[in-house]
Amino acid sequence: MDNERITLLSAREIEKMRQAGQLAAQLLKHLEPMVQPGVSTLELDAESERWTKDHGATSAPLGYHGFPRSICTSINEVVCHGIPDAKQILKDGDIINIDVTPILDGYHGDTSRTFFVGEPSPLARRLVEVTEECMMRGIAAVKPGARIGDIGAAIQTYAESNEFSVVRDFVGHGVSRIFHTAPQIPHYGTAGKGKKLRPGMVFTIEPMINEGVYEVEVLDDGWTAVTQDRKLSAQFEHTIAVTKEGVEILTLHPELVPA
């Protein structure tokens, strides 16, 4: 995937990505009020699948390399790719990342947020806030002529200055008609290194930030990635386009535009 050519999207294709991205943002907003103690992750999955179909789209994760559900739900020590399950019931104090990827008219909108279930601990709140800020600092590093390493460097600097760690084993990715394509976007790295960003590149920035060590393990289900030390992990994800002016967040909900 790393040696593949990076496709530049036309204005018409970026408009398609914007529509898919906006649908993804709306889906997360739609699910937000359901994130309450007592709700199972399978209920979140079922509602996502219903809502997505209702809006003329399909769920990219369902059947993707055999993934069995329509969204990923990653609670507490789960780093990513948690599988919705009827036995997995949200409880007060949990943090849960919900990662959605509707396909609309052939194009993928890939976005995730970490939500609080009831009242978080001060540490969980800080981890989640730092993780969102990591994503936004990574996005702010994007403009034509900047390099892929600038994104990871911005994220890693902020995470580590807060004494958290950056997951190495999962990266952001090019996304368009294909779910995961070139380029890979590490969430750690060195400013000034890596390929140059050009207008028309579209990719995700999706840092996973850990309370403790950055190492992860994959459970026997073949999907669920957890922190090696079983401490907390949080994640946020946007799909972005490099523009002539800088960057456009394709999955930004109109009500969540930063000040």
- Which residues sit at the interface with ligand MF3, rule CB under 6 A? 61, 64-65, 67, 72, 81, 99, 101, 110, 204, 206, 237
Please give the Cα distance from 220 to 63 (Å, whole number). 18
Strands (DSSP E) found in 76-121: 78-80, 95-100, 102-104, 107-108, 111-116
Q: Cβ 233 to ligand MF3, closest distance in Å?
A: 14
Binding of Co ion by 110 (CB under 5 A): yes
Beta-carbon neighbour count of residue 126 at 10 Å?
16
Residue 203 sits at φ, ψ, to 5 deg, of -155, 170
Please, are residues 95 and 114 in contact by the beta-carbon 8 Å criterion? yes
Who contacts 171 (Cβ-Cβ below 8 Å, separation ≥6)?
Answer: 184, 185, 186, 187
CB of 99 to Co ion, least distance (A): 4
66 vs 145, beta carbon nearer ligand MF3: 66
Q: How far is the CB of 119 from ligand MF3 (least distance, A)?
A: 28
Nearest in space to 73 (alpha carbons), one of 84, 89, 59, 88: 84
Please spell the DSSP secondary structure of 160-205, one letter per residue.
HHTT-EE-SS--EEE-SSSSSEEEEE-SS--TT-SPBP-TT-EEEE
Q: Which does 64 bind (CB under 5 to 8 A by kind): ligand MF3, Co ion, none?
A: ligand MF3
Q: For 89, which DSSP code?
A: B
Asked if 156 touches Co ion (CB under 5 A), the answer is no
Write down the least CB distance from residue 148 to Co ion, Å.
15
CB 158 to ligand MF3: min, Å: 20
Asked if residue 69 lies in contact with residue 47, where contact means CB atoms within 8 angstroms, the answer is no
Among Co ion, ligand MF3, none, the one that 113 touches (CB under a kind-dependent 5 to 8 A) is none
Binding mask 61-100 for Co ion (x = CB under 5 A): --------------------------------------x-
Residue 73 or 165: the one with the smaller Cβ distance to Co ion is 73
CB of 227 or CB of 239, closer to Co ion: 239
Pick the closer one to ligand MF3 by CB: 81 or 253: 81
Greatest CA separation found in the chain? 48
Tokens of 167: 């997951």
**Binding partner selected for residue 61 from ligand MF3, Co ion, none, CB under the kind-specific 5 to 8 Å limit:** ligand MF3
Query: Which DSSP string corresponds to 136-167?
Result: HHHHHT-STT-BHHHHHHHHHHHHHHTT-EE-
Least distance (Å) between residue 175 CB and Co ion = 7
Indicate the residue among 102 and 200 with the shorter CB distance to ligand MF3.
102
**Would you say 101 or 233 has its CB closer to ligand MF3?**
101
Query: Which residues are near Co ion by CB under 5 A?
Result: 99, 110, 112, 204, 237
